[in-house]
Structure 1
Amino acid sequence: MTKIKICGITRLSDALESCRAGADALGFNFSSLSPRAITPERAKEIIEKLPPFVASTGIFVDQSPEEINAICRFCKLQIAQLHSEQYSPEDARAITEAKVIKVFRPEENFAVEEVFAFAEKSGINAFLFDAYRPDMAGGTGETIRASLATRIFNALGDSCYPILAGGLNESNIGEAIRSLQPYGVDTASGVECEPGIKDPVKIKAFIQAVRKTVF
């Protein structure tokens, strides 16, 4: 079954609505540059009220491994998502307070060997692929070109747990899952009425669209 993460949570009501609709994980963005930014203090308040079996994920763009470990420990995050090219395999290995997902934002000439090399050097086995935009680190509302995504996911096969992100919504998620068969899918803008404010109807529709898709 395809795992589902609802990202960019800033309000308790949106977090609980996502849980009730069947989300497997929630994402909290700790980048001050994001329109979905949240403080560790506020994230902790929300995470403490989550039901069991829902994984809390921190999105990190410019924090050091030491800062990431501290935030993960403080908020009791289960996953640290490294959403910047600056993070090295050594950085990933230095994060010990949570399981790590490394994000790639591939351009057309992306070499899949980069993923294999990062996996070998870091020891992590989960990678998220998001649409590339030089001025934004995630939450762009744009999709990865279909031919590029297909090339990447086909090359990865069963070597890791690939997660698809980038402009996913109720309308396009079914075809994306059938085509790529990702381990998980991640959406933020696809279930919002404005950045950081989720739409309960869109959340339910997105999750239902994922659950009814078979491959």
Structure 2
Amino acid sequence: MMRTSMNRTKIKICGIKTQQDIVIMNRTKPDYAGFVFFEKSKRHLTYDQAADLLANLDHGITPVAVCVSPDSARIEAIARLGFPIIQIHGNLTNEMIEQWPNQIWQAVNVEGEDLPEIMSHPKIVGYVVDGAKYGSGQSFAWSKELAKACVSLPHLILAGGLNAENVCEGIQLFQPDIVDVSSGVELPEMGKDAAKVEAFIRAVREGA
């Protein structure tokens, strides 16, 4: 079953950290930009930092809040910032789903060759298939069997170790609705590399 074609695959650039990152986003115009709320990540933002970044983000780019097993206070704070989508790694409970007022992307961390169990709920509109450890920049073992299992997901976001060199292969195999990149477009120290962002977006949109 064909899920999508390469030139219709949407793009999420995750781990937005600085105002310069926002400048790059506004110039290159991915479909989504991810903002991380997880203290163990080098991309973690305070709520004030996130608010400042969101204020300058192009309105045509959809912001996504990314967190890991968030507690009630975190969900409430992120909701106040006005995010239309929350991407949840780790534990996802019915209580979280009920508290969050908008759409949810559930992260599915693949450790072997099988697709882990997923939750089903009207608010869950996407599934982020990622490597075993969130934010590691490491991919999972791509296989035709796993790709076939992913076809059953109603909205697939492919993540984990993507870059301009391998994203076309991932699209051809998994036919995702969205591709999600972070470390694959970063500078060695911190922040996004404009040239890498441009190359990634060009690879997806032009099949280069």
**Other structure's SS at 2:171 match:** helix
Q: Does 1:203 align with 2:207?
A: no
Superposition pairs of residues 41-56 of structure 1, within 5 angstroms: 41-56=48-63
Structure 2: where are the runs of 5+ without partners? Answer: 1-7
Q: How far apart, in 1, do the equivalents of 2:114 and 2:72 lie?
A: 26
Superposition pairs of residues 6-155 of structure 1, within 5 angstroms: 6-73=13-80, 75-84=81-90, 86-96=91-101, 98-108=102-112, 110-111=114-115, 114-115=117-118, 118-119=119-120, 121=121, 123-133=123-133, 138-147=134-143, 150-155=144-149
Q: How far apart, in 1, do the equivalents of 2:57 and 2:16 lie?
A: 12
**Other structure's SS at 2:164 match:** coil
Q: How far apart, in 2, do the equivalents of 1:111 and 1:190 lie?
A: 23
AA aligned opposite 1:125: V
Q: Could you give the per-residue CA deviations for residues 96-146 of structure 1, whole angstroms, max 9, x where no partner exists? A: 1x311010111215345x12xx11x5652310011113xxxx221111111
TM-score (norm 2): 0.88
**Other structure's SS at 1:129 match:** strand
**Aligned pairs, how many?**
201
* Cα distance, 1:3 vs structure 2: 1.1
| Distance verdict in 2 for CA 1:195–1:4, change over 3 Å | farther
Alignment RMSD: 1.9
Instruction: Confirm or deny: 8 A CA contact 2:9 2:179 kept in the other structure.
Output: yes
Instruction: Confirm or deny: 8 A CA contact 2:22 2:56 kept in the other structure.
Output: no
Instruction: Confirm or deny: 8 A CA contact 1:35 1:195 kept in the other structure.
Output: no
TM-score (norm 1): 0.86
The share of aligned pairs that are identical, in percent, is 31
Farther-moved stretch of structure 1 (14-23 vs 164-173): 14-23
Instruction: Confirm or deny: 8 A CA contact 2:185 2:192 kept in the other structure.
Output: yes
Give the match for residue 186 of structure 1: 180
* Cα distance, 1:159 vs structure 2: 4.4
Q: How far apart, in 1, do the equivalents of 2:188 and 2:84 lie?
A: 27
Instruction: Confirm or deny: 8 A CA contact 1:19 1:51 kept in the other structure.
Output: yes
Q: How far apart, in 2, do the equivalents of 1:61 and 1:15 lie?
A: 23
Instruction: Confirm or deny: 8 A CA contact 1:23 1:54 kept in the other structure.
Output: yes
